[in-house]
Amino acid sequence: MVRENFSCSYVVWFVLVFILSGCSPLLVNKPGPFTDNVPCPTPGQPSGGFRDMKGTLLAHPSGKGADPLPGDKMFELQDRSGTTIWFGCYVHEDVCTDGVCKMVRLWLFWDAIGEYLGLEVPCGEPLTKSDHAEFDREDYETLDAILRDSASVLKHLGYDELAIKPDDTERTTGTTPVQVDGVTGATSPSLAEIVVKDAVYTCYTLWHTVYGERYEAIQDILRSRADKKFLNRMLQTGLPSRQAWAIRYVSQHRALHEAFYRQMITLISTGSSEVSSLALNFFRKDRMNKKVPDLLIETLEKVDINKQSEILEKLSELEVSDRSAIFKLLKMYESGEIDITLLHGVYRLVSPARLQDPEIASILHRLASNENLFIRNLTQKLLQSAGMD
């Protein structure tokens, strides 16, 4: 790994990146930290300004496994605190079918957890279609949307499923089908509406570049750093995607569970909808200590009614039935901290043994005489089930 200040002179960068990246001379035709031309200002071509950002630049291997990419580097830009701003990689990929190939050159960028951020096209090297027409602004926007979709239909398709090849009749009668990326054949109808017209193979190749080995290389970097300090920083960023990554990582590593119980509890009430649900679902019967039920109950007063319902469901799933928890929940209902519509969720936690507790029984008998018919009937039914009516 290489660490240099981003404001180094171009000459130093030229030498440094050339040596460490293993790049060919074609990729260093202008001295600079990124080994290729600056983004082109031509209208329609994307330039997210990623390479203009300031910080400290690191270089990592960008590929692994059976198809390593020894000539590439995955760059990482960090701020002064050591927090990742982005990961970036110069991509030079062949798009080939039936022996017809073209080279695609561009920069791809990922955020601090490996989610696609954007792309930049070098000046003078625009993306092109099968008829050599250059991508216009709308084409780049379509491509960008495709690359942002981690669940794209392209994920499960093979290269040979992207186009409909002409049959022998077409070949012998002289019919000329549509050409796609320099390959004779029409784009599959199921894909025609979601890919860049006449560039299905380019879209496919770049999608699998974004979510392939380079993505896994970023995940390897993150996993190598994932100690308690790193994970705490991720959870404290306030950024849902980073918090979600950290929660999933902690969930998969038992040795970390107990150290993060309180952070998970906090995120239930403070996190985004996705983060809150992930934090709540972190808790399982085999993943909790004696303090967890009380911590979950304390969270009830900090969340809305929908989240309260989810927490009560979680308490039921965890088979929480201790006396302290039941008593606290009943008192919270009486004080108005739990909505009437959730009383049934509280009663689900009340085991027959808890009905014998004098304080719990006293609360229930009061509720069995409540002026509200719903509360009265629900409570009487609970007492009847234990023969206490």
- In this predicted model, what pLDDT tens digit does every residue of 213-224 receive, in sequence order? 999 999 999 999
pLDDT at position 48 is: 60
pLDDT tens sequence across 145-156: 999 999 998 888
Helix (H) or strand (E) holding 78: strand 73-78
Q: Is residue 142 over pLDDT 70?
A: yes
Position of tokens 């979601």? 194
HSE-up of residue 342 (Cα within 13 Å, Cβ side): 24
Is the Cβ–Cβ distance between 109 and 77 less than 8 Å? no
Listed residue (266, 328, 270) closest to 297, CA to CA: 328
Is the Cβ–Cβ distance between 197 and 181 less than 8 Å? no
**Domain boundary residue among 174, 199, 216?**
216
Residues 308 and 173 in one domain: no
Q: Establish if 138 belongs to a structural domain.
A: yes
Q: Is residue 126 over pLDDT 50?
A: yes
Q: What are phi and psi of 241, to 5 degrees?
A: -65, -40
Q: Is residue 326 over pLDDT 80?
A: yes
Mean pLDDT of all residues belonging to the chain: 81
Q: Establish if 104 belongs to a structural domain.
A: yes
C-alpha to C-alpha distance for 140 and 46, rounded to whole angstroms: 7
Q: Is residue 21 over pLDDT 80?
A: no
C-alpha to C-alpha distance for 57 and 43, rounded to whole angstroms: 29
Q: Establish if 236 belongs to a structural domain.
A: no
Q: Establish if 93 belongs to a structural domain.
A: yes
Q: Establish if 231 belongs to a structural domain.
A: no
pLDDT tens sequence across 160-216: 777 666 553 344 444 444 434 433 445 565 676 778 888 888 999 999 999 999 999
Cβ-proximal residues to 35 (8 Å cutoff; 6+ apart), any chain:
17, 18, 21, 23, 27, 28, 90
Q: Establish if 147 belongs to a structural domain.
A: yes
Cβ-proximal residues to 318 (8 Å cutoff; 6+ apart), any chain:
283, 284, 285, 288, 292, 293
pLDDT at position 47 is: 55
User: Per-residue confidence at 40, pLDDT binned at 50, 70, 90?
Assistant: low
The residue ranking higher by pLDDT, 299 or 1, is 299
Residues 335 and 195 in one domain: no
Q: Establish if 206 belongs to a structural domain.
A: yes
pLDDT at position 159 is: 78
Percent over 70 (pLDDT), the chain: 75
pLDDT tens sequence across 251-273: 999 999 999 999 999 999 999 99
Mean pLDDT of 329-354: 92
Residues 173 and 88 in one domain: yes
Mean pLDDT of 371-386: 91
Mean pLDDT of 237-246: 96
pLDDT at position 33 is: 38
C-alpha to C-alpha distance for 203 and 208, rounded to whole angstroms: 9
Neighbour order of strands in the sheet with 56-61:
2-5, 56-61, 73-78, 84-97, 100-110, 116-120
**Domain boundary residue among 163, 182, 216?**
216
Q: Is residue 133 over pLDDT 60?
A: yes
**Domain boundary residue among 216, 235, 261?**
216
Residues 210 and 296 in one domain: no
Boundaries of domain holding 312: 290-385
β-bridge partners, 287: 284
Q: Establish if 284 belongs to a structural domain.
A: no
C-alpha to C-alpha distance for 12 and 315, rounded to whole angstroms: 60
pLDDT at position 97 is: 61
pLDDT at position 261 is: 95
pLDDT at position 324 is: 92
User: Per-residue confidence at 249, pLDDT binned at 50, 70, 90?
Assistant: very high
Separation in Å, CA 314 to CA 25, 250, 270, 321: 59, 19, 18, 12
State the total domains in the chain. 2
pLDDT tens sequence across 73-87: 899 999 999 999 999
C-alpha to C-alpha distance for 21 and 61, rounded to whole angstroms: 8
Residues 200 and 294 in one domain: no
What does the block give as tokens for 319? 């088979």
The residue ranking higher by pLDDT, 24 or 235, is 235
The residue ranking higher by pLDDT, 29 or 92, is 92
